[in-house]
C-alpha cells in the first residue's frame, strides 16, 4: 500500500522540553492508523505536528520532515494555513463554535475562506452532515445552535465541519474520550466509512477502540515510537516487551 504521509526524523519541543524524539513513520493512504501509548507519551503532539498545529502553542518547536504526497509541509515557503485545509482535525472535546447555528458551524471553514454562494454552502452543509451520519438527526434544526446537540452529536458536527473543507487526511485526537459507548460506536462506524475516501489517524487511550477500527497501530512511549505495524500483529504478537506490557495493562 501507498503511504500518504511519510515522517522522517521528527523532533518536537515545548520550550526546552523535548517531547518527541526522532520519529520515523509512514502513514498508509485510505487506512486508519491508531496511535496508542500512556498519557504524556507525545501522541497528541505527534498528530499536531502533522497539520502544523503544534506550533500554535507559544514556545513550541519542531524539526524534521513531514512529507504529505512528497511535499514537505515544513518547507519554508509552505503556508501552514493551506496545510490545515488539507489535513483536518477533530479534537478530544467537541468544540462547535458557540455563536453559530448547526449549518453555519459546518460551513464555517468555507465561509471564512471566502465562499459566499448560499446554494454551494447549503449543499456542502448537507453533504458533510450526511457523510458525518448526522443529517437525519438535525435536518430540521439546521438553524439551531450547535451547542443544543448532545455530546456525541456535537462531535459528529465537528467531524462534518472538518469534512466540509474537503481535506485529504483527518486527524482524530481522542475523539471519543468524552462520549458514551453508543456515541463512540457511531463515531467508529463513521470512521470505517470515511477511510474509503480519506486517510485517518486516531489517537486513543482505548485499546479496544484501536483494535476495532485501525488497520495499523503505532505504540509511543516517552516521546519515542516503540513499535509500529499491522494492528493484528501489535495486539497479538508485539515484538517489544514494553508494547506487550502496555497492551495487557501492566502500566499506563
For another protein, the binding residues (CB under 8 A) are 51, 53, 56, 58, 81-86, 88-89, 91, 93, 95-99, 101, 108-109, 112-113, 144-145, 147-148, 158, 161-162, 165
Q: Say if CB 103 and CB 164 are below 8 A apart.
A: no
Q: Say if CB 3 and CB 30 are below 8 A apart.
A: no
Query: Whole-number minimum distance, CB 241 to another protein, in Å?
Result: 36
Residue nearer to another protein on the CB measure, 27 or 83: 83
Query: Whole-number minimum distance, CB 74 to another protein, in Å?
Result: 17
Number of Cβ within a 10 Å radius of residue 238: 20
Query: Whole-number minimum distance, CB 173 to another protein, in Å?
Result: 10
Angle between the 181-194 and 151-164 helix axes, to the nearest 10 degrees? 20
Helix, strand, coil percentages, rounded to 5, for the chain: 40, 25, 35
Distance CA 10, CA 48 (A): 12
Planar angle of CA 77, 80, 83, nearest 5 degrees: 105
Strands 17-28 and 199-203: unpaired
Query: Whole-number minimum distance, CB 62 to another protein, in Å?
Result: 16
C-alpha cell at 34: 491508531
Q: Is 68 exposed, middle or buried (0-12, 13-18, 19+ CB in 10 A)?
A: buried
Query: Whole-number minimum distance, CB 157 to another protein, in Å?
Result: 11
Residue nearer to another protein on the CB measure, 101 or 184: 101
Residue nearer to another protein on the CB measure, 89 or 210: 89
C-alpha cell at 19: 517531547
Residue nearer to another protein on the CB measure, 67 or 108: 108
Residue nearer to another protein on the CB measure, 5 or 89: 89
Query: Whole-number minimum distance, CB 51 to another protein, in Å?
Result: 7
Residue nearer to another protein on the CB measure, 118 or 143: 143
**Distance between start and end Cα atoms, the chain:** 32
Amino acid at each position: 500500500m501507498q503511504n500518504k504521509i511519510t515522517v522522517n526524523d521528527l523532533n518536537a519541543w515545548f520550550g526546552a522540553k523535548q517531547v518527541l524524539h526522532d520519529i520515523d513513520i509512514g502513514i498508509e493512504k485510505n487506512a486508519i492508523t491508531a496511535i496508542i501509548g500512556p498519557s504524556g507519551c507525545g501522541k497528541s503532539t505527534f498528530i499536531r505536528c502533522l497539520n502544523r498545529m503544534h506550533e500554535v502553542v507559544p514556545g513550541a518547536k519542531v524539526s524534521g520532515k513531514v512529507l504529505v504526497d512528497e511535499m514537505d509541509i515544513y518547507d519554508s515557503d509552505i503556508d501552514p494555513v493551506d496545510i490545515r485545509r488539507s489535513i483536518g482535525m477533530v479534537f478530544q472535546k467537541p468544540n462547535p463554535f458557540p455563536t453559530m447555528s448547526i449549518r453555519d458551524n459546518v460551513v464555517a471553514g468555507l465561509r471564512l475562506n471566502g465562499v459566499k454562494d448560499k446554494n454551494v454552502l447549503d449543499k456542502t452543509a448537507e453533504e458533510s452532515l450526511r457523510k458525518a451520519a448526522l443529517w437525519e438527526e438535525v435536518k430540521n434544526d439546521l438553524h439551531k445552535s450547535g451547542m443544543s446537540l448532545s455530546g456525541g452529536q456535537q462531535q459528529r458536527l465537528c467531524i462534518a465541519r472538518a469534512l466540509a473543507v474537503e481535506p485529504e487526511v483527518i486527524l482524530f485526537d481522542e475523539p471519543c474520550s468524552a462520549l458514551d459507548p453508543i456515541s463512540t460506536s457511531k463515531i467508529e462506524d463513521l470512521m470505517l466509512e470515511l477511510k474509503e475516501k480519506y486517510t485517518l489517524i486516531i489517537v486513543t487511550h482505548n485499546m479496544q477502540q484501536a483494535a476495532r477500527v485501525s488497520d495499523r497501530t503505532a505504540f509511543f512511549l516517552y516521546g519515542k515510537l516503540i513499535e509500529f505495524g499491522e494492528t493484528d500483529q501489535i495486539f497479538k504478537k508485539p515484538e517489544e516487551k514494553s508494547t506487550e506490557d502496555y497492551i495487557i495493562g501492566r502500566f499506563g
